[in-house]
Structure 1
C-alpha cells in the first residue's frame, strides 16, 4: 500500500466526509496526510524545464568550497604535516591546526541516525529519509465543474 501524502491521493473521500458532516472520518483522513508543507497538493505544480542560467558564486567571488567532514585520501599528507608540526612544538601544532581543517569523521553518512531516533520518526519522515518521491496522479479538471453542479443542485 502506498502511503497517503496529500489530498489528491484521497480522491473525493475528504470532501464527502466534510459534506456529510462525518467528523470522525474527516479527522481520520486528515491524520493520514503528510505534515510537510512542500508535499501539499497546492505546491505540486508542473516544473518548468526552461534553461536556467548557471551561476557559480564560488567561482565569481573566488571563494573555495568547504571541505567535507569525512576523511579523504588527500588528508594523509595533511596528517603527515601535522605530525611534523607536533615535533617542532605545541605552538607550531596549534598554528597548523588553525590553518588546515581536519576531518571530523571517518565516513560521512548524512542519513545515519541512531536506532532510538529512527524508531520515533513517523512514516512520512521515514519515507523522505529513504528518498521516495511522490508521483502525482493525472487529474481531470472538468470533474470540478461536475462536483460544483452537484453541490449547487443539493443546496437549492
Structure 2
C-alpha cells in the first residue's frame, strides 16, 4: 500500500466524514495521512529568533540539582557537619541532611547489580548484561518465498 501524503489524494472523504459527523471515518482518513506533513508543506513557519533568553527552572525556583550518588571530594566536611548536627538535636540533623544530603555509595558504578537481583534475571537479560549476544543467522529470502507459495497453494486431497 502506498502511503497517502497529500490531502487532495483523499478527495472529499475527509470533509464528508467531518460534515456528516462520522467520527470513526474521520479518524481513519486522518490516520491514513502520512505523518511527514512538514516535508510536503508549501509554506513553512518562520525560524525562531536566534537570541532567546535561557530559562533555567532551577535558578527561577532557587533549587539546586540533585547531587551524584557517589562520594565527592567535599563529602568529608559534609559528614563532619552532619555529626555536629547530631550533637545539637535530631531536628538539626534532619534539617542538615535535607539541605545537604550525604552520598549513598563510595563509587558510582551503574553496571553493578545486587546478587539477588542478578539471580532473578532471565537468561536473555543476563546475556545482554554480560555483552554476550547470540550471532545472527543469515537470512535466506528464497525460503520466505517458498513458504508463501506453500500457503497459497490449494490443498491437495488424496
The alignment's TM-score, normalised by the length of structure 1, stands at: 0.43
Name which one, 1 or 2, has greater alpha-carbon Rg. 2
The answer to which structure, 1 or 2, has the higher relative contact order (CA under 8 A, 6+ apart) is 1
